[in-house]
Structure formats: C-alpha cells, structure tokens
Structure 1
C-alpha cells in the first residue's frame, strides 16, 4: 500500500503542489549526485529523463512525458552492463516518476544508496548528503517515510 502522505491534494491527499515540486527536485538532485558512478559516458536517455523532470516542475512537460521518460530510464537499467549502472539508471527512472507519484522520490534515493554501496563508497555519507539536501517543507515527511519504509534498509 502506498503512503497516503504522498498523495497530491488534487487527488484528495495532503501533499501540496510546492511539496511535490520539492520532492521531484530533491529526487533529481539525489540521482544526479550518483550519476558519475554510471561511467565515463552517461546514457542520453538518463540525461533526458532528468531534463523532463525539470520541465515537468516548470510546467513545460506533462505527467505522461515524465512517465515515458521514466520508462526509458528503466530500459537503460535493464540494458546496463553492470549492477552499479543498473542502480543509477533506476534512481533516475524513479526520480522522474516522482511527477506521476510523489513517493517515487523515496525509491530514487534508495536506488542511489544501493549504487553507492555496490560501488563500495560510503552509504552513510551519501545518506547524510541526501538528508541535507531536503528542503524544510518536505524534510520531516521524507525522513519519517524513510524510517517507515523497507527502502531505508541498505
């Protein structure tokens, strides 16, 4: 069952438009932060997905555009040559999918942590960095959702 706190107000939930925009911004920052782990050349579909997410936030792309970009990023994950690339691509895919369902932001962060762990980098440092990027209006929501979620266990 999805976390009802992440349902947008226009769908009957408590999440404001501003919070939704902040969640997608945070998720994209988190995904971009681990993008270097993908390798020397980042798949252009991942870069496009991040652009579509930003365009959605600015009202220049639809939720449908974001969903298509997310599917493309997941295709990149499925085509990846190693597990780190897979996790990075999944992080990007879920970041852009935040436009469709805001709780994808938590999953984007989780996959970023998995990428860091598999790359043998500090998961604790990455989690601290992620948490420090949270705007005040969504910080408690995200931190409490992470604690309640299976996705926090890395």
Structure 2
C-alpha cells in the first residue's frame, strides 16, 4: 500500500474523495446485507460536498451511519464494505480517510486473484486523477 499512499497524498482533497468513493463503489457487490441502497446513498451524498451541497458535519453523520450498518452486517465481507463506505464519506472531513476506504475495500475480497485485480484497479483509478 505504500506506493498508493504516496499517490493519494499527491491528490487534491476533492480528487481523494472521488477516488475513495470509487473504491467503495467497486466492492459494493461483496455486501450481502439489507442496506445496500443506504450504502449507495451515502456514497452519492458524500459527493455532494464537491459542489458545496453537503457540509462536513453532514458528511460525518453519513460516515457514522455507514459504520452503524457495518455493525449490523451479516458477514465479514459486508462489514468491510460498509467500513469502506464509512471512510469514503469521512474523507470529506479528513483527506487521509481515503486510503482507509481503499484498504477496507480490499479486505472485503477473499479471492486472491480478485484481490490482485482490485489492487491494480485502485492504483490505475488513482492515476486517472493525477
């Protein structure tokens, strides 16, 4: 993760948010709970900050909601996906949460081949913002 951390540090706060949200969106398929629509709404809502239509306190509440969903998730991959979404939303508050969104996204994947592909996808996605 060291290489990607350096890459993310070079992104603007807005670019880091877009990247974090995309990392979370990319693993939503691993969520098996009943609140998938809520997680999607949290990600969509977090992006409203880019246009000034979401305050930092509102984004923090979104992050708290995602972490509450994680506590109720039915299995380990679902927990990790919800945590990823929580950190993506928290990126509005603190840019450094972006890397945690990506890390939790990776933790949701149990298949080694898919994990390698996801790591590659995350890095390629980050480079699109540079």
Q: TM-score, normalised by structure 1?
A: 0.72
CA distance in structure 2 between the partners assigned to 1:48 and 1:136 by the alignment: 24
**Larger CA Rg, structure 1 vs 2:** 1
Structure showing greater relative contact order (alpha-carbon pairs closer than 8 Å, 6 or more residues apart):
2
Q: Counterpart of 1:80?
A: 73
Q: Counterpart of 2:14?
A: 21
Give runs of aligned pairs for residues 1-154 of structure 1, distance below 5 A: 19-39=12-32, 42-117=35-110, 122-135=114-127
Aligned residues: 124
Structure 2: tracts of 5 or more residues without a match: 1-8
Root-mean-square deviation (CA, aligned residues, Å) is 2.4
Give CA-to-partner distance per residue, 1:99-150, whole Å, 9 cap, x none.
0010100000000000013x66521110000000014665xxxxxxxxxxxx
Q: TM-score, normalised by structure 2?
A: 0.84
CA distance in structure 1 between the partners assigned to 2:83 and 2:33 by the alignment: 18
CA shift for structure 1 position 23: 0.2
